[in-house]
Homo-oligomer: A and B are copies of this chain.
Amino acid sequence: MKSLITYNREVRDEWFEVLNNLSTEELSKERKSGVGSILRTLFHIIDTEYSWFRAMYNKNDIQIYFEEFNDLQSIKELSNQYRKEISVFLRQWTPSDENEVVKPSWMTETYKKGEILRHIIAHEIHHIGQLSVWSRESEIEPVSSNFIGRNIKT
């Protein structure tokens, strides 16, 4: 499952590169779907992933606000910062974690860690699919969504 996290990391970083070619206006443009704009989508992916990882490792949820990270560079730095912490969590992951039950502070339900990990993975890929539509609207070639050809260890 970690290979899909690696995939998401590579794809996200490639998007940061590609989106450098878009104006702040295009990046911030309100869209009719998802969470509303390219920047908000990136922020949402990063915030969601981090919140779930913290919940899995019994850390309190950290509230962050889009208004404080509303440009590409700030969001990229946020991504890199959180990634370091998430890597520490990932190194702690053992097969028995799969069935460990977690109660996130912002929800009433409990979930297994294995379920949460898959949720995080699918969540990012889904939102990246939205970016692929919006980038074309802005005349930008989307990043390849291929898993094959990346030589990611499975």
- The residues of A with any CB-CB pair to B shorter than 8 Å are 1, 3-4, 7, 31-34, 98, 109, 111-112, 114-116, 118-119, 121-123, 125-130, 132-137, 142, 145-149, 152, 154
Contact = CB atoms under 8 A, between A and B. Distances in A.
B115 A147 contact: yes
B132 A126 contact: yes
A147 B134 CA distance: 24
Q: How many copies does the complex hold?
A: 2
A33 B132 contact: yes
Contacts of A127: 129
Contacts of A7: 118, 122
Nearest to A7: B122
Contact of A128 (B114, B129, B134): B129
Contact of A152 (B4, B115, B135, B147): B115
26 contacts: A1-B1, A3-B114, A3-B118, A4-B118, A4-B121, A4-B122, A7-B118, A32-B133, A32-B137, A33-B132, A33-B135, A33-B136, A33-B142, A98-B154, A109-B148, A114-B154, A118-B152, A119-B147, A122-B147, A123-B146, A125-B125, A126-B128, A127-B129, A129-B130, A129-B132, A130-B132
